[in-house]
Structure 1
């Protein structure tokens, strides 16, 4: 039965403003009414039993016994239904609540009519006291029930109308002054109850709305909090966790007081060749590559694997509950393969790779700082020795770190002017059998460590930011030797990537050259491909400044880095030096010969001089000559030698290049 189809009730609901209550209000009404429902039925049962007892013997049995028993049975069934539903305690949907509220409204109307009819039917039986009892029963019962129904305004108003109107009319027509007074009194009380009911219901509805608004504000605050947390802990470009979250998880990951805990691994990932893409194609292409790399890494994340962007093209890796090192190797390999897949930008295919350094707890470190530092060192080792692969920090690396630490301390306390020296190796034109210049090579003899190889102390100087001081000391020595030696002697001097990256350091070097009295065109500054690619724009500006000064520029170790034809074309180069790795087996390696031939042709087309490094045997000289090479350097022509003679760098007195005729040293280059 749809109560809203009854015109009177539909009008009642409309007047009460409850024809279409909100889902939130309906739920609160239902919950409040459900708590009052047992009291409502208890009131009905107690009052009905009391009236029925006073009319036994005076009213017909069916009216004094059967009808009240039936009415009380209905109330008891409703109570049993309520108790059964309370035990289930399942959450109702809004539709279910609306259906039950409609059913309740119908039952209230039906029960109101039945109890009112029964009470008025008892009035003719019994004495005056019994009649007053009926009036008292009806008035007190309706008041109690209305207050139990205060949260359901429509039901309370309906019950008031069903009981009070017939009650007032019935007793007003008895012409009994007492009963007429009771009827009038009941009518006034009913009006007061209705006013109280309407006021209470408005406050109740406002309270519900206020609670709903408060929850909505709390939900919005929670959403904003989660959004702020997301912004604070996620990288906006890649969608990966950011540096803050990475180190937060790392600090929580390492159990300092649980030596028996499962092993963990920390990794640092760096994109090889990203700087070149950024410089050649612009930051938009760089962002696209980072975004795609982030998606690929995110696909490899899991419950025990966290990948994060630490900044730039560097990413972090955390692996929890590590039980097998092979598992770590497989994951690292999968990451490298994912990063190696081509990237597409505006129709161009971009290629790069990813190098990974890893440290395992507790072998690779017992604190977060140690683990990350060792993973970073393993990354440095990977980029130096196995670019595009993985390196797991080991005891060997730990020994290297200690060794590097010793070198750094000795370097920091060294008297560089006294301990540093320069050796010079000739660069020969094999077509004229003439030395055309010398390469200045740094040497360090520490009173604590003894002779330290350049491959070690240069790296330590760069990592400890001592390279600028070291470069200035060595260039000062080179300039003094050049000024004291033969006027025609030319010198090649190596610059670090950090020297190019620092405008202040570069300005100091230029100032030294100007004050030295040495013609700048006698100097050739050699820079590696890696040094240029690290910050191409800054390197380009630095090399242009040296070129403007009058010095020559040479690209060293060509073929081992990431430089492209476009990159070479944009640099103010005078010569290219082919890395010695292509020369070692050039007599038997067809691929190496093809590479060297291609580089020689490239240099000719760009009007650049081509210098071949690492030449050690006459057979290599012969093969290189056949490939069109004219300028060479290596132990076949002369070992690096200290410039301590009277004539400084005079090539006519310091070096004998007759070895070119076939009598050459077979020692390895250093």
Structure 2
């Protein structure tokens, strides 16, 4: 060690030694950072980074060596053999590239340290090739133990540098790799220099055509500038490209690709920041939740391209009218959330909502079609309604759903009662799932009668829920919840299976009518389930009548038609329920093989006092007769209704005049008695809802 230090202290020019050290440090930093890229990339990129790291690393080793050689103060004439000098540069670049290639062959394993050792060996090879190119009027004597030590230093520290990059244990390991490479280069060089002693020899001559110091220093400085400039610019370009890619990725991660609006993640960030700021200045802001009305109809009728056009156009229009302090995001589907800090009065917020609504409801021209959508708006205020982003969004949604239920483009502000209603619906949904297991559900039946003879011709199945705490829960309350949370499939299967099993045990082969929800009709497995239930129950398929509404088939008519045809192939009858309340298009009656049309009770109740209701019922009966489709009128409550329906030729009726819905136990005489025992015409008419 003393020999090495004395070599540096006594035999070298400090200025050039400092320059060599600077080149070594800068080059080592660049080399190891480029080598780290080799470890992280694959394919062509890996080859590019491998080539660049090999050139920069080899050039760093070579320039450090020859600047240090130029700093060596020798009193004897000397020069450098050009071929070996250039070959030493090629050896440095080649061995460094080979070493990095070996380390990059596998993510783990001994090849990592082996490749680093090859880089260290390349440092030694380049050094001693450079020494062989060193021509001086003297004789070189070698200390072979120091010579061997120099090689070991290069190999060991080379292996350590690769190890620290490939096997990091802390974030500082990358710096350790740079230090190890610097020690490999400088330790090997100065140890190798201290291994030689130069003895003057007058008989030794320096051949001509050698490279003198002044020429070599120009070559070295030029290579040093090119090497450091190339490496630095490459690294900077890569860093800039990575930064641009990161910024692009962040933009994409925070923006909706269709509309360019901020997405849910950006909304959460913005809303969270607003809440943090508002705590400081005690100001308030409003969160507005928008949901497009009739957007599904646009998609269903014109396709998703039309829906995308509507979303883009609506987004552009709303964005164009935003003022300072206002923010808009699309959080999914046809849902938007807006935020405004300009809300001193509720009238200010309502005006903001009206501005956005005005842009939403404007017609959208697309592919020769005029597309129209509406919107429902719910509003929550900070800090009056909530103090966290999650609660604000949830309460704005609650208000929006209230707005949607109210219709007429009503703007709803959040009220605490909405939370109570939402929790109540959630509790009811949970209780519903347990209700089947606890046998809380029960089937009621309402008679369907021949209008001429009064005989019972069938029974409609109606579901009732006797809740242990709430008592009798109306289907109006729990059926929409079941449809929304998907429980309608399980509930519908239970109703159908129970009804078929009960009907199969009756002595009289009366028909049973079971309602099918739109979600059930959309399920491709419905025919298979019906077939299985009929097989299990033993019920004749001709006794089962499935009632569907037109709203259940309008979304995807081709799919619905395929399902209905499969059901009819089983022998099941299909009835259109609530005729007159939906689309009631003639094409639906023409295209779908209905076995019955049920006129809704809303029209029957007005046939004796409202000429419009009478005209609708009359025209429906005439239309059905022309199509050879039987008609059943619901909601028949008095003899005046019966007289009208008999006169118009309606053959089947259902209503309180013949009996309200009741449990099967109260209808034993109807389902198990003689045909003449089902007369119950003395029942008092009632206008109560079923």
TM-score band, normalised by shorter chain: 0.5 to 0.7
SS in 2 for 1:323: coil
Asked if structure 1 preserves the Cα contact closer than 8 Å seen for 2:606 and 2:614, the reply is: no
Residue in 2 aligned with 1:496?
A: 517
Check 1:286–1:639 CA distance in 2 against 1; reply closer, same or farther (3 A cut). Answer: same
Quick check: 1:243 aligned with 2:264? yes
The within-5 A match list for 1:312-331 is: 312-331=333-352
How far did 1:338 drift? 4.0
Check 1:420–1:298 CA distance in 2 against 1; reply closer, same or farther (3 A cut). Answer: same
Larger radius of gyration: 1
Asked if structure 1 preserves the Cα contact closer than 8 Å seen for 2:634 and 2:654, the reply is: yes
CA distance in 2, matches of 1:344, 1:606: 39
The within-5 A match list for 1:496-645 is: 496-504=517-525, 507-533=528-554, 538-561=559-582, 571-582=592-603, 603=624, 608-618=629-639, 631-644=652-665, 645=667
SS in 1 for 2:439: helix
CA distance in 2, matches of 1:259, 1:413: 48
Asked if structure 2 preserves the Cα contact closer than 8 Å seen for 1:438 and 1:492, the reply is: yes
Q: 1:469 aligns with which of 485, 490, 494?
A: 490
How far did 1:430 drift? 3.7
Moved more, 612-621 or 447-456: 612-621
CA distance in 2, matches of 1:337, 1:557: 35
Residue in 2 aligned with 1:658?
A: 681
Check 1:576–1:326 CA distance in 2 against 1; reply closer, same or farther (3 A cut). Answer: farther
Asked if structure 2 preserves the Cα contact closer than 8 Å seen for 1:422 and 1:442, the reply is: yes
Asked if structure 1 preserves the Cα contact closer than 8 Å seen for 2:545 and 2:572, the reply is: yes
| CA displacement 1:99-148 (0-9 Å, x = unmatched) | xxxxxxxxxxxxxxxxxxxxxxxxxxxxxxxxxxxxxxxxxxxxxxxxxx
Residue in 1 aligned with 2:417?
A: 396
Asked if structure 2 preserves the Cα contact closer than 8 Å seen for 1:428 and 1:632, the reply is: yes
Residue in 1 aligned with 2:668?
A: 646
Quick check: 1:669 aligned with 2:689? yes
How far did 1:563 drift? 7.2
CA distance in 2, matches of 1:629, 1:336: 47
The normalised TM-score by structure 2 is: 0.57
Asked if structure 1 preserves the Cα contact closer than 8 Å seen for 2:326 and 2:342, the reply is: no
Asked if structure 2 preserves the Cα contact closer than 8 Å seen for 1:266 and 1:319, the reply is: yes
SS in 2 for 1:285: helix
Task: Say how many residue pairs are matched.
Answer: 476
Q: 1:275 aligns with which of 283, 290, 296?
A: 296
| CA displacement 1:455-511 (0-9 Å, x = unmatched) | 122233334443333222222221122112254422221223332344456643431
SS in 2 for 1:258: helix
CA distance in 2, matches of 1:568, 1:256: 60
Residue in 1 aligned with 2:468?
A: 447
CA distance in 1, matches of 2:599, 2:382: 42
CA distance in 1, matches of 2:287, 2:648: 48
CA distance in 2, matches of 1:336, 1:224: 37
CA distance in 2, matches of 1:213, 1:459: 63
How far did 1:618 drift? 5.0
CA distance in 2, matches of 1:380, 1:506: 34
Residue in 2 aligned with 1:368?
A: 389
CA distance in 2, matches of 1:606, 1:286: 37
Instruction: Output the aligned Cα RMSD.
Output: 4.4
Asked if structure 1 preserves the Cα contact closer than 8 Å seen for 2:534 and 2:541, the reply is: yes
CA distance in 2, matches of 1:529, 1:643: 29
The normalised TM-score by structure 1 is: 0.59
How far did 1:443 drift? 0.5
Please list every run of 5 or more consecutive structure 1 residues that lacks an aligned counterpart in the other structure: 1-192
CA distance in 1, matches of 2:584, 2:332: 24
Residue in 2 aligned with 1:419?
A: 440
The within-5 A match list for 1:133-532 is: 221-255=242-276, 258=279, 261-362=282-383, 364-386=385-407, 388-416=409-437, 418-430=439-451, 433-504=454-525, 507-532=528-553
How far did 1:416 drift? 4.2
Check 1:298–1:400 CA distance in 2 against 1; reply closer, same or farther (3 A cut). Answer: same
Asked if structure 2 preserves the Cα contact closer than 8 Å seen for 1:428 and 1:434, the reply is: yes
CA distance in 1, matches of 2:281, 2:644: 62
| CA displacement 1:348-396 (0-9 Å, x = unmatched) | 4444433334444455544433333344344444444426544433233
Check 1:247–1:619 CA distance in 2 against 1; reply closer, same or farther (3 A cut). Answer: farther
How far did 1:253 drift? 4.0
CA distance in 1, matches of 2:260, 2:585: 31
Check 1:243–1:516 CA distance in 2 against 1; reply closer, same or farther (3 A cut). Answer: same
How far did 1:343 drift? 3.9
How far did 1:257 drift? 9.0
How far did 1:320 drift? 4.0
CA distance in 2, matches of 1:292, 1:625: 55
CA distance in 2, matches of 1:603, 1:259: 70
How far did 1:421 drift? 0.8
Check 1:237–1:456 CA distance in 2 against 1; reply closer, same or farther (3 A cut). Answer: same
How far did 1:619 drift? 5.2
Please list every run of 5 or more consecutive structure 2 residues that lacks an aligned counterpart in the other structure: 1-213
CA distance in 2, matches of 1:259, 1:605: 74
CA distance in 1, matches of 2:597, 2:263: 41
Asked if structure 1 preserves the Cα contact closer than 8 Å seen for 2:435 and 2:441, the reply is: no
CA distance in 2, matches of 1:300, 1:432: 68
How far did 1:442 drift? 0.6
Check 1:228–1:406 CA distance in 2 against 1; reply closer, same or farther (3 A cut). Answer: closer
How far did 1:325 drift? 3.0
SS in 1 for 2:435: coil
CA distance in 2, matches of 1:626, 1:337: 51
Check 1:354–1:490 CA distance in 2 against 1; reply closer, same or farther (3 A cut). Answer: farther
| CA displacement 1:602-627 (0-9 Å, x = unmatched) | 65666555544444455556667788
SS in 2 for 1:425: strand
| CA displacement 1:555-613 (0-9 Å, x = unmatched) | 43445556755566555544444444455556565665565566556656665555444
Asked if structure 1 preserves the Cα contact closer than 8 Å seen for 2:342 and 2:348, the reply is: no
CA distance in 2, matches of 1:456, 1:311: 28
